[in-house]
Chain A
Amino acid sequence: MNKYIYIKIVLFLFFIAGSMACKKQLDIGNPNDPSLKGNVVNETGIISLAKGIYINGFKNGDDWLGDSYFSLPYGYSEIMADVVGADASNNQVSTMGVPDYLILDNGTKLINPSPQVNIIRKFNTRPNTGNANNALYYQWLNMYALNNTCNVVLRYVNTIKYSGDSTTKANTIKAWCYWWKGYAYSSIGSMYYSGLISDSTDESAANYISKTNNNYLLHDKIIARSNFYYNKASDILKNGILSTSDFSSILAQLIPDVNKVGNGGVLTTDMWIRNINTMLARNILLNNLAPFVNKDPNAIIAKSSISTMTTSNWNDVLNLASTGITSTDLVFTGRSAATNYIFSATGGTVSAKTGGGPNTSTTFKVTERFIQNFKIGDLRKSNNFNTKTTYKNSFNYTTRYTPIDGGNGLIGVYTYVNRTAGAYELFIAGSYEENQLMLAEANIRLGNIDVGLGYIDAVRTYQGSGLSAVASTGLNLSDAMQELVQERRVALVYRGLSFYDNRRWGWIYDISKGGGSYNNTVVMVDGTVNVKAIINYNFMDYWDIPADETVLNPPSSSSAPVVNPNF
């Protein structure tokens, strides 16, 4: 009996002791997620991480009415450019593009009780970001996340053993990072009054995040940083690629297969350099004023956060665009897919959010101000829009037009909306059309009107508009600019550029400062159509810095302003 008890006790203690030895069991780690240390150790790992720019830069944080950078930050651009309107209150999409006032053909003045600048400032708080009411947040979030991914990749790119020509392979990945860093700084510098430069990772946080600082720099300094990185990418593509096949093999892995359709694909180094030149030209063009208010090419904006384009600027744009994207060049595109996508077919782009039903039920509604840019006979209009239903709005968004999903099937004519998986080609960066229209505008502004108009014709032909040529038809500067403006508005729509155009043409500025938009079509709910409506947008030209940054990272005393002082 006693022995039995002793055995029991011994067994019991033994069990406890045995259990004590299970400290190794505690080393579970995280079996689900990769880590920098464990996974970014070879070519496959660093490529997977470098490809992460699509997730960090263009997907994470953008789930709202849509699901990507191309529906939300791009969306604000299109909303503020008055090419789309919105009814839903989410993310302030129904207020960010509403002008301060309208003056109808009969002189009636409609005043917006919720002016945009007021809305921006009221909702630029961290709680409002939490409520998805702070429009300023998303572009900043995405672009710094994009920048961070590049910083992390650059931190590890030289630690990897590559097969083949390791210099080429590492340089290809570096070019990729420099390009996207250039892109990120370009977006920040083009949209926000000031920004931060953050080019290294934080060792104390195991390199998962970047070091930041509180020295906010004025937007032109951020654009300069963008140019710095674009040039760095260009240099490495010119001088650092020793093996074309190794370059292509890496780039082919970095670009998702779904994007390698149409204008998307594996660029050659030369194509990529031309893409960079287009983006360098864009940096100049979008961040200077070139006022064209009420068809006056010499209009002046009294107060703005940027200066007016000089002849030298125009020549720079001309030179860069002349070595920019050609019609046969591959560019950086994005496409939806049925599964495993960067953005969804029905929700990931401004385009998708304008289609899929009558304008009464879509998230975005194409505006009359967009449609008015189509010249009579433009096949792009007849191929893409019906007038079956009228969306009615109490202010300026009433519209008779609904985009047709997939278009009317006219061969060779550009389609604005296609919600079938993979069908719509989204331009993440530059495009042939954009480059051509930069050439057009620079030439027109430099006095080569017909040369410039020729580029407009080229774009119209490229998109299958069916319009007759305007070159050599004797247009004066104002008329030529009007052609340019109309073409830019319809050809480059949904590419995240529209707001910058309205800004540099001076339209978004207050009428009292020389801005405003004239000769607009505005339809009333009772069906009345105004065609000479004056619209005073009075939008903030460069956004304040989101409170999420300035509260958690307060500016140093020597920082540039984080609130746009001109509004």
Chain B
Amino acid sequence: MMKRILLMCFVTFLWKSYAFAQDPTITGTVKSDDGVALPGVNVIVKGTTNGTSSNADGNFSISAPVGSRLVFSFIGYNTQEFVIDKPGATPVVITLITDSRQLSEVVVTGVGVATDKKHLSIAVESISAQNLPATPSASIDQALIGKIPGAQISSISGNPGDPVNIVLRGINTLQNGTKPLILIDGVQMQGTDINSLDLSMVDRIEVVQGAASATLYGAQGANGVIQIFTKKGKQGVIAVNFSSSYASNSFINSGNLHKADLHPYLTDANNNIVDGTGKILTYNEFGAIEGISYTNGGAARYGILNPNNVNNKPYNANLKYYDHFKQIFQTGNTFNNNINISGANEKSDYAISLANNHTLSPILQNGYVDRTNLTANIGTHVIKGLTIRSITQLVYTKNTLKPGLGAPGGKYYGEGNTLGNVGGVYGFLNTSPFFDLNRRLADGTSPSYQVADFLSINARNPVYNKEYTDGLDNKIDVIQGFNGNYKINKFIELDAKYGINYKNENSKWIYYNQSLNTNSINYGSWYGNYNNDGSGVDNTGEIDNFQYTNTFQNFLATTYIRTNFLEDFNIKLPIRTSTQFSFDYRNNKYKEVDVHGNGVSLLPPINLKTSNSPSLDLDYIKQFITYGYLVNQVIDIGDWGGITVGFRSDYSSAFGGGSKPFTFPRASAYILPSSFNFWENKLANFIPYFKLRAAYGEAGIQPGAFDRIPAIDQNNIDSKSVYSIQQVSKNPNIQVETTKELELGTDFTITANKGKWLSAINGSITYWQRSSQGVIFQVGSAPSKGAPNQLNNVIGTKANGTQIGLNLTILRSNDFTWDFTTNFSHQVSKISSIFGGNDVILTSAAGSTALALTEGNKIGQIYGYKALTNFTDTRSDGTRYINEADVNKYTLVDGRVVNKATKGIFFKDQISSLGDPNPKFNVSFINSFSFKKFVTLGFQFDWVYKSHLYNQTREWMYRDGISGDFTKQVTIDGQTGAYTAYWASAYYGLGTTARGSGNNGTKDFFYEDASFVRLRNISLSFDIDKFLKIKYFKKLQLVLTGRNILTKTKYTGMDPEVSSGTANSSFDRGVDNSTMPNIKSYQIGINVGF
């Protein structure tokens, strides 16, 4: 029946459009409120699909009957209507007023049907390109930091090419991490990392965060969705834009992490460091130093715990002090160049961009990352209403960073979420500061192992790493989307999208033959990946070849049916409906082949063929197919409110062909009290716009591709196949994880003042809560069963949060504008239940730092030993740590109980939670000033409050007492000095004992508040064209940018923003273990437009 009605309407519509074919033509110009012609403004005859857009000069021409209304709309401006009251009118001039509320802005992400913000029933954040800073990395992920209310985006590593951590709404799954779904112009991108895309080609970005909205995208959307829209050509003359910039980059060290420049070693009268017999120490033939001794306690490791040793002697005689951080962390640079050409006519539009980013690594300047992007967005109107669009992004990335110094590669690297291999960078962390990392052996080569007997035993020399390795990574990303859109009539729109995302990456690591290096020979110390000195063959080097291929296809077919009861059916109800039917198919295939050969020839050619016994390490295919149907119904009632209901049903290859689909519902509603009569008089002046909204959604998160398939491992022993039982047993009974979310929110506009100041405050506040059930994870299983872990649906999580976005138009005058934006996010994620109740023990990518999932506790908590802060503290069994009789042997230093005799801090020997590393909230403050449209100053402060980091980097430097902290004086029982025993006890101590049991234990001493305020971005731009009025230039802009140039924090590591865990790990987020800090950059750039 419905079909027939629709058909009738459709025929009626066709007849109508033919009937009015002879309408008069209206011409005119569209200008902005500051008098500039606006090209690309949509001009539509209201109630029809008849439309055009203004050309480069802002001119338009359209045929429309007398009495009809022309609707002029353009993003960022209030929509205007113009009534054609007579035929053949003189050219009209339409002035569009800037819309500070941006309520006319249309979003599509998470709503199914394109919806203007005014009628949104969920929170959708959108950000246009002009608000994205030109970061030196020219990457979208970096640019998004701080821009999305509710999102926690942190740059966890400063190694070029590394991904960021993104948490949108809580931690709701464990295996899959927190990475959101990335869409480009409606098509999912998987395989290519968001940081490979060209920032200059972005038109705008929309973000939907929760399950309530992400239900539309199926299981993959459960972590939220980020959709990138690329620029389209606009009608008018061809626009050519060229940008070029140069940045100087260096690592942040906001905590002034450094090594001790004073020492406690045995010296002679001239302050020469000597051995027990008085012999002045010097480098031996291998570049090491033998004979060092503590002043007290002798020539052995635990001399550091001798309470008489004081770190107070300068390195001013035979051995000197070297600042290793300066030796390794140098200054790198970045060049960015891009050119965009775009244009359009009635039939087609195009935008083509070529961009190059070249980044020299600051890590010993060991290599570069060079990325070239070619992007083309081409659309053509085939017949009336039918548009075909092709969006192509080709990315070629060449990365020459060396293995150990930042190289991409390694097992499963191609799946994403793996940081570059920086394992060699912090080799110097345990090197005593009296070693010069640049010192060479007699033959001019570098030493690998700069050891001084019991000191520096974990030392590795990054300079040696640089000398004996090479890396080359070539990556080609192809992201091709096709879109056919057919607006059959005003009721029916058909849309088909097909996207293919292909990535081919080859990573080659070479560890040169080190068998001639005398240091390597003597100490059995060398570099290698498989053939390393911990479990390899010998120091003759190694060649690794990693080949990754990702192929991802997404097909999405949608039918939209729209009705307007009043206009279409003459039913006197102000009801508009949109119905969406979609079919969504995704096919993800990942392939990896890893080969390595040991023994690299000392003579060229150096390749796999000339290595010994190349072996195949991995030949792996992972395919995941899922498809499903989506139905979503939107009903809007006038301007008063609306509801949306829908469901999505998906099949998945994780369950095989015979499986049933998983279906999840969603619903949302909004009401606009400001649209009712009662509002009009009293409140409308002050709050012209006020909306309340609520949304509920469920989503299923699929198990991993092979989680339900029990398997055995395939190994090789001397080239013969061997099967073994897997250490994590798979589980054929695993089900889909389910996550449910409720979000409540309000959007509003406050007109605080009618004058220049504070004319508008736009806000959006959302509270959300989520819970997940049956979260899949590997949990401990009794080892006597033969496999220590089993996958199962075992964990329940609960999360909630608040997000606030506020935009203030602080000042609008003829010469000066000032806008202010603040984005706030607070979120908490907890483990609500664990099947069986036993803690889930996690392995952290970081040191000995302990992680566990415990019922009722927050996800990601770190467990360890706390220092005693009270003499009467007791163990869990009620016994006192310090007997009453012994209390006088202890004193308090810096709030901690310290033994007066040993000078050691007393750490409780029972593990407890040290806290939750996730921040209490994060907020950004963005200011933008513009003077006479000539000078623009913008800056953004990010404030992350009460985040915590376990400073494992610092703890490692306590082992040998080489942390800068060791020169700090403390007063213990009336004596003041930089006692090595005091500081070293933080590494060695546990309970009443030192030596061993507490070594490198996780202690609250190193669990630090990592709150910070960061000047994320500051940019000053001069629009020279506005000043000089140069012909031919549409734009001539000089931009000075600083990124991350100021950080205010109490954190004593290099950078409070980093995390050593896997990128986007759900739980491993709070450890800093030799992680690359972020980069601070000073950039100068020019933007030229023709």
Which A residues contact B (CB, under 8 angstroms)? 1, 5, 8-9, 12, 15-16, 19, 22-36, 39-40, 44-45, 48-49, 51-52, 54-56, 60-61, 63, 65-67, 87, 89, 92, 94-95, 98, 112-114, 118-119, 122-123, 125-133, 137, 140-141, 144-145, 147-149, 151-152, 196, 198, 202, 205-206, 208-212, 253, 256-258, 337-342, 344-348, 355-358, 360-362, 389, 391-395, 398, 405, 419-421, 525-527, 546, 548-549, 551-553
Contact = CB atoms under 8 A, between A and B. Distances in A.
Given A49-B712, A144-B785, A209-B729, A394 B534 contact: no
Interface string B546-574: 00000000010101000000000000000
A258 B715 CA distance: 15
A23 B725 contact: no
A406 to B, nearest CB: 12
Interface stretch (B213-221, B517-525, B932-940, B1032-1040): B517-525
Given A209-B729, A546-B783, A34 B652 contact: no
Nearest to B598: A338
Nearest to B910: A122
A12 B524 contact: no
Contact of B841 (A16, A48, A126, A355): A126
Contact of B625 (A26, A35, A553): A26
Given A39-B712, A209-B785, A145 B780 contact: no
Contacts of A147: 786
Given A29-B656, A89-B996, 9 more contacts: A12-B494, A22-B585, A31-B621, A32-B706, A33-B712, A114-B997, A119-B997, A144-B785, A152-B725
Nearest to A341: B717
B239 interface: no
Interface string B710-752: 1111111111111111110100100000000000000000000
A396 to B, nearest CB: 11
Given A23-B651, A52-B724, A66-B535, A125 B911 contact: yes
Nearest to B717: A256
Nearest to A211: B785
B651 A114 contact: no
27 contacts: A28-B656, A33-B706, A33-B726, A35-B711, A36-B712, A52-B712, A52-B715, A56-B786, A67-B535, A95-B995, A98-B995, A113-B993, A128-B911, A130-B841, A145-B786, A208-B712, A210-B784, A212-B782, A339-B615, A346-B524, A356-B533, A360-B457, A361-B451, A394-B301, A525-B300, A552-B781, A552-B838
A123 B780 CA distance: 17
A531 to B, nearest CB: 20
Interface string B285-308: 000001001000111111100000
Nearest to B620: A32
B508 to A, nearest CB: 18
Contacts of A548: 780, 782-783, 788
B996 A34 contact: no
B556 to A, nearest CB: 11
Interface stretch (B109-117, B602-610, B846-854): B846-854
A145 B995 CA distance: 33
B214 to A, nearest CB: 22
B911 A360 contact: no
A295 to B, nearest CB: 31
Contacts of A8: 486, 488, 494
B782 A552 contact: yes
B709 interface: yes
B656 A26 contact: yes
Contacts of A527: 276
B1002 interface: yes
Contact of A348 (B535, B622, B787): B535
B936 to A, nearest CB: 48
Contact of B299 (A339, A347, A392): A392
B1040 to A, nearest CB: 48
A-B pairs, top 10 by smallest CB distance, nearest first, are A148-B786, A356-B524, A394-B302, A89-B999, A347-B535, A95-B996, A33-B711, A55-B724, A553-B782, A52-B724
Given A32-B622, A198-B784, A525-B299, A27 B653 contact: yes
Contacts of B719: 340
A407 to B, nearest CB: 16
Contacts of A30: 705-706, 709, 711
B184 to A, nearest CB: 22
A145 B709 contact: no
A52 B843 CA distance: 25
Contact of A95 (B598, B991, B997): B997
Contacts of B625: 25-26, 28
A358 B996 contact: no
Contact of B718 (A34, A256, A346, A347): A256
B653 A28 contact: yes
Contacts of A118: 993, 997
A94 B999 contact: yes
Given A52-B723, A60-B727, A357 B780 contact: no
B785 A127 contact: no
Nearest to B998: A114
Contacts of A340: 615, 715-719
Contacts of B714: 32-34
B659 interface: yes
A51 B524 contact: no
Given A26-B653, A28-B705, A394-B298, A52 B725 contact: yes
Contacts of A137: 783
Contacts of B710: 35-36, 205-206, 208
B722 A51 contact: yes
A69 to B, nearest CB: 13
A258 B717 contact: yes
A25 B850 contact: no
B615 A144 contact: no
Given A52-B723, A209-B786, A94 B996 contact: yes
B429 interface: no
B486 A357 contact: no
Given A95-B997, A114-B996, A552-B838, A346 B656 contact: no
Given A39-B712, A344-B536, A394-B302, A127 B996 contact: no
A12 B559 contact: yes
Contacts of A145: 725, 783, 786-788
Contacts of B494: 8-9, 12
B842 interface: yes
A552 B622 contact: no
A95 B557 CA distance: 65
A19 B583 contact: yes
A394 B303 contact: yes
Contact of B725 (A51, A123, A209, A211): A209
B723 A34 contact: yes
B658 to A, nearest CB: 8
B377 to A, nearest CB: 24
Contact of B842 (A98, A122, A130): A130
A358 B522 contact: yes
A394 B848 contact: no
B850 to A, nearest CB: 5
Contacts of B623: 28, 31
Contact of B724 (A60, A119, A151, A202): A60
Interface in B654-689: 655-659
B612 interface: yes
B584 to A, nearest CB: 10
A258 B718 contact: yes
B297 A23 contact: no
Contacts of A202: 785
Contacts of B729: 205, 208-209
A5 to B, nearest CB: 6
Contact of A342 (B457, B717, B790, B992): B717
A25 B992 contact: no
A39 B585 CA distance: 32
Nearest to B452: A360
